[in-house]
Amino acid sequence: MNRESVVAEALSLLDEVGLDAVSTRQLAKRLGVEQPSLYWYFRTKKDLLAAMAQAAMAPHANAPLPTPEDDWRAWFLENTRSFRRTLLMRRDGARLHAGSTPTADLDRIRHKMSFLVDSGVPEREAQMAMLTASRFTVGSVLEEQAASVPGDGPDLPADMPRVDPESAFEAGLSLIVDGLTQRLTA
């Protein structure tokens, strides 16, 4: 047993039972160890959840970084879509990620910010665009994942149109990019 295997098993448990049911007791049982032995790797459940969030974000964290030749709009759209896809890969992925601090990803975030600034987006607008896109994406996925659990979604009247989550996400993302583009050309 090592830190990585504990996190991998914790993510498997998450996918099976959901975030609310993940416990160190259940995790220890699955690993065939006593609960206190988990404290060798993680001092608290919060530490375990942070490691789980970081591991769950690996597909997005390993996505190619932008290059100077990239169009900032196309990159911004794909970066945000990649973030959404990654959150959707895990049951309760958005809840797991919400409130986590991307300390292992700071160099990548700095690179992305530098790319936007070098592409002509003022630093403050680049920060706000990245923050807005991130929070919009987490919120969208939170809603989408909640609606996918039977009984947890909203009970809409029969005559109210259903909105496809991906279409709604794309529409909101376009509004963010279009708004930033208009602000830059004003």
Please tell me the pTM assigned to this model.
Answer: 0.90
Q: Which residues contact 3 (CB under 8 A, 6 or more apart)?
A: 41, 51
**Cα distance between residue 27 and residue 9, in whole Å:** 7
Per-residue pLDDT, 155: 65
**Cα distance between residue 83 and residue 126, in whole Å:** 17
**Would you say how long the chain is, in residues?**
186
Token output for 105: 């990803």
- C-beta atoms surrounding 4 within 10 Å: 11
For residue range 34-85, what is the model confidence (pLDDT) as tens digits?
A: 999 999 999 999 999 999 999 999 999 999 999 999 999 999 999 999 999 9
For residue range 97-136, what is the model confidence (pLDDT) as tens digits?
A: 997 876 778 899 999 999 999 999 999 999 999 999 999 9
